[in-house]
Structure 1
Amino acid sequence: MTSRTNRAILGALAIASIGTLPVPALAQDGNSEARLRKLEAEVRALQRTVFPGPNGRFFQPEITESAPAQNNTQSRPSTTAVTDILARLDALEGQIQSLTEQSERNTNSLSELETRLAALEEANTAPTGQSESAGTSASQRNLSGMTGRASSPPSSPPPPPTSATNSPSPDRLAAVQAIAKPQTDDPADDEYSYGFRLWEAGFYPEAQQQLAMFVEKYPNHWRTTYGRNLLGRAFLDDGKPAEAAPWFLRNYQADKQAARAPDSLLYLAEAMIASGDTNRACIALAEFAETYPAIAAGRLSGQYEADRRKVDCN
């Protein structure tokens, strides 16, 4: 029994010594962890054989044929660093391809836009007599001659109006003086408001003089669009449509987005109607409906429809 025990001990030591030697192949083998576990189990089984229990019974080894395959399956990693890198590279390549396609589409769109802009610039710079761009309406092309028999838009206010006798009556002077001029921290607004009060009271010549002074003195004030429009109305209400038309046209052309530009264009049509010029009245009405469709159907719809009923436009 001693020799058998000695041989077993020597065998165990040999196996243990083999397990402690460096094995370069294990470092490169993907199953190294499973092989190490198998060796450890074999050593434990051998220990039980060499050192039996107190009753002398031998223990069965814990190693089976299926154990290595099971350990091999459990210890094998699902992915590796290389596969992770490859997956990330595939994703990057997909993103780069998508960005390249988007860049090409943007380049094509910019090229088409530049072509269209070049065509528009060429059309806008075409000399007089050539065909105009398709976007220019017939009513816009005829606005330059809108005033007809009226004078050109004045660059300076008209001379102070005078009454038929060149001497207003004492009652009229007293009535005009009774209209108070506002005194606020905005002198320009005060001048306009005073002209409005004169017009509202029916003193049209005095209102014409006051409003003409206002638009000349304050050409960039926010009230100027109101002043030019009201100045045209002061002439129109005074029975002078030829003098009113240039102010309406000037106010509309100065800034088509101004607060009273739509009103001036519609009053321009009324000035043409009062002058008996149906053709130009229809042009103004068409321009108004085309330029301000929302206002034509909203704020000024009543006045617009009334003006349309006054003329027969084809």
Structure 2
Amino acid sequence: MLKRLTFLFLLGAATAPLAAQTAPDLNARVGKIEKELRAVQRKVFPNGQPLEPEIVAPTPTPPPAPTTSPIADLTARVDAIEAQVRGITAQAEQNDHRIAQLEDQVKQLVADAQARAAAPAPAPAAAAPSQDAAATAASAPTGIERPQTGDAAEDGYLYGFRLWQAKMYPEAETELKRVADQYPNHRRASYAQNLLGRAYLDEGKPALAAVALYDSYKKWPQGERAAESLYWLGQALTELKKPADACKVYAQFTDDYGATAAASLKAQVAAGRKRAKCA
């Protein structure tokens, strides 16, 4: 949309001299649009990526006889550009507000999780383990093999994945967190952080899962598991009885990844929205 807006603006700028001769106030409006457009570009492209026209102007041909005056055409074009700039600015501000809300919610989740972790655990009853507990301990997988490919991040992630598959959640969480922290520039960092959140969720710790999954999206928004992390974040918030927050997360998923996510993941998000009773 910004590329189309830039192209329209260039067309408007090309005819500005004519407008200046007949309606000086248009120069002021065009100058105002230039400032607004630069402000929008800085917000949407903070790294200074240039905007280029989406199409190339065709070879000039003799213009047809005008049906309206040049100044009326120019005024209509400027009105349209101003409306588009206002729309883009409003959308950018809405996205900023939504992300700020998510950050505040995650901070609260972190505080809640830390408070629960600091609370003293009740003393266990002095009793012999039940037969069910003994059977569970006896059947727990052991001897999980760590891969040795020479890529420490890859090996660590695969080892954490195997521990997670074996339902050895505390061990998996330790390994996956280590990979994400020590190798943040490796492609497996996004995988590890996402699976860390899922391990917390599988272990029945949705508050810790929400924190880990939000970090996966926030730290690696272009990572291969960023979109999936938003889906699981919505699931964790639903488990925490925060359906309104889950719906905001699903809306962020649509804004960021709705055009690129796999159909299967979109179907999961749709089911998540239904479960959270999103409007």
1:216-270 deviation line (CA, Å, top 9, x unaligned): 2212211000000000000011000001111111110113221111011111110
Aligned equivalent of 1:313: 278
Aligned equivalent of 1:206: 171
* Aligned mate of 1:144, from 91, 98, 103: 103
Identity %: 35
Distance 1:300 1:246 in 2: 21
Residues 260-275 of structure 1 aligned to structure 2 (within 5 Å): 260-275=225-240
1:107 Cα deviation after fit:
8.8
Distance 2:160 2:172 in 1: 5
Q: Name the aligned partner's letter for residue 93 of structure 2.
A: T
Number of aligned positions between the proteins: 194
CA change 1:190–1:107 in 2 (3 A) is: farther
Does residue 239 (structure 1) correspond to residue 148 (structure 2)? The answer is no
1:136 Cα deviation after fit:
2.7
CA change 1:273–1:185 in 2 (3 A) is: same
Report the secondary structure of 1:151's partner residue: helix
1:145 Cα deviation after fit:
2.1
Aligned equivalent of 2:243: 278
Q: Name the aligned partner's letter for residue 192 of structure 2.
A: G
Contact 1:147–1:272 (8 Å) recurs in 2 = no
Distance 2:272 2:170 in 1: 26
Contact 1:269–1:282 (8 Å) recurs in 2 = yes
Q: Tell me which structure has the larger Cα radius of gyration.
A: 1
Q: Name the aligned partner's letter for residue 272 of structure 1.
A: L
CA change 1:107–1:191 in 2 (3 A) is: farther
Contact 2:250–2:273 (8 Å) recurs in 1 = yes
CA change 1:311–1:148 in 2 (3 A) is: farther
1:139-194 deviation line (CA, Å, top 9, x unaligned): 33422223364106x9xxx9xxxxx98xx989859955421110112121001100
1:267-289 deviation line (CA, Å, top 9, x unaligned): 11101000001111111111111
1:106 Cα deviation after fit:
9.2
* Aligned mate of 2:183, from 203, 218, 233: 218
Distance 1:107 1:174 in 2: 79
Distance 1:276 1:120 in 2: 37
Distance 2:214 2:157 in 1: 20
Aligned equivalent of 2:35: 115
Residues 1-314 of structure 1 aligned to structure 2 (within 5 Å): 105=14, 114-120=34-40, 133-134=89-90, 135-137=92-94, 139-147=98-106, 149-151=108-110, 175-295=140-260, 298-314=263-279
Contact 2:110–2:211 (8 Å) recurs in 1 = yes
Distance 1:106 1:247 in 2: 53
1:303 Cα deviation after fit:
1.2
Query: 5+ residue gaps in structure 1?
Result: 1-101, 125-131, 159-163
Distance 1:177 1:242 in 2: 28
Report the secondary structure of 1:147's partner residue: helix
Distance 2:43 2:223 in 1: 27
